[in-house]
Amino acid sequence: MKMLHKRLSIVFASLLLSLSLAAGTIEKETRLFAVKEGVELKMDLYRSDSASILPQPCLIFVFGGGFKDGQRDAGIYLPYFHYFADKGFTVASIDYRLGMKGEKAPGLRNYKPLLNAIHLAVEDLYAATGYLLEHADELYIDPSRCIISGSSAGAITVLQADYMKQNNHPLAEMLPAAFRYAGVISFAGGIFSTEGLPSYTKRPAPTLFFHGTADRLVPYNKTGLFHLGMFGSRQLVKRFREERYPFTFYSIEGVGHEMAEVPMKEYLPEIERFITDLVLDRKQWMTETRHKDLLRQSDTSSTPGNYYN
């Protein structure tokens, strides 16, 4: 009996070791992808050391911080990076120029600094995308499966980037004409438009929206006057429904701007499901889910006025 117990212990230990080795560890590599206006722009690449040498989908991430601060490697984002690196993705978290640093709160009479900051961020996202496409073979990246995701200002950036690419904006000429993003993931984002509710010349990428209904920093609905303003997730989903563009929308009732970060900890399986269904399997679904967490206490005090002061 003792001998049998000992053998079983050895087998069990060996099994645990093999499972541990199979899971792999996440490796991080930092690369310089551009220098703009004397600013070095870098990206952190995360991937599993057990990853296949076959081309992988690439998940590009743009951090938040109101276009005035933030870091590509902030600890709050690491569970998101590691989760998808472990799932066989190459995750690229990128720098971008912070065009709102030192600026006053944006408003209807002071929107140009914000618009400039958005365009700088989009330009830098395009530069990072171009770098990844250029080095796709070396990095084992599948150019047809590049997904962009972002938090807050980063979410605005990725939504704006796909919008500008599909509407042939001059900045989008930085990317190959035939290239399109495979998917967009927005954590509390919107699109700044001077032409009213954004419309698309070419179909946008399948898009995953997360937004709190009580968000006062990036509007859940919209802020602005007539054709000028920031159009939040609710308005963008309206356009997607009208034009029958695939999307998934998680509308979180009574919650403020923390939905810029919460999904990267609490909704990882839902994000993976969106990628699997709408991006990789190309299902033509339009899905809206309304959540109300009776236990969540939300801080809805953040506004552009107090955030930028």
| Percent of the chain whose predicted confidence (pLDDT) is above 90 | 81
From start to end of the chain, where are the E strands? 26-36, 39-48, 56-62, 90-94, 141-151, 183-187, 190-193, 207-212, 222-225, 228-232, 247-252, 286-291
How many domains, the chain? 1
Residue 9: inside a domain: no
Residue 203: inside a domain: yes
CATH number where 285 lies: 3.40.50.1820
- Looking at residue 109, its pLDDT comes to 81
3-state secondary structure of 133: helix
Per-residue pLDDT tens over the stretch 222-261: 998 778 999 999 999 999 999 999 999 999 999 999 999 9
* Mean pLDDT of all residues in 43-55: 86
The answer to whether the CB of 187 falls within 8 A of the CB of 207 is no
Q: In the predicted model, is pLDDT for residue 17 greater than 90? A: no
| Residue among 49, 145, 117, 58 at smallest CA distance from 93 | 58
Query: What are the tokens at 133?
Result: 């496409």
Domain limits for position 81: 25-307
Cα separation, 67 vs 153, whole angstroms? 6
Residue 118: inside a domain: yes
Q: In the predicted model, is pLDDT for residue 196 greater than 70? A: yes
Residue 171: inside a domain: yes
Residue 284: inside a domain: yes
Identify the band that residue 23 occupies on the pLDDT scale cut at 50, 70 and 90: low
Query: Taking all residues of the chain, what is their mean pLDDT, rounded to a whole number?
Result: 91
Of 151-165, 257-271, 295-309, least confident by mean pLDDT is: 295-309
Residue 18: inside a domain: no
Residue 16: inside a domain: no
- Looking at residue 51, its pLDDT comes to 67
Q: In the predicted model, is pLDDT for residue 58 greater than 70? A: yes
Residue 262: inside a domain: yes
